[in-house]
Amino acid sequence: MPIARMQRFAELRRAGRPSVAARLALLSAHRDDVHRHIADLRGHLRALEAKITHYQDLLDEQPGTDQP
């Protein structure tokens, strides 16, 4: 959560019970952001795994290539 949103959440917390709905909205939005970030990271990981597999296959095709 960006610092500005954390500060807003803290302000709302100090406001007490009347701000519960606004705090819930901030937390729900943050959860949605985290889910999107996780999905992005999973996509990056898939791409990275594919590249690693590609380069490993290239090494496997070359006789006498040093393996790490």
**Total domains, the chain:** 1
The pLDDT value given to residue 64: 73
The pLDDT value given to residue 62: 87
CA atoms within 13 A on the CB side of 13: 8
**Is residue 67 in some structural domain?**
no
pLDDT tens-place string over residues 5-59: 999 999 999 999 999 999 999 999 999 999 999 999 999 999 999 999 999 999 9
Structural domain boundaries, residue 40: 3-61
**Is residue 47 in some structural domain?**
yes
**Is residue 54 in some structural domain?**
yes
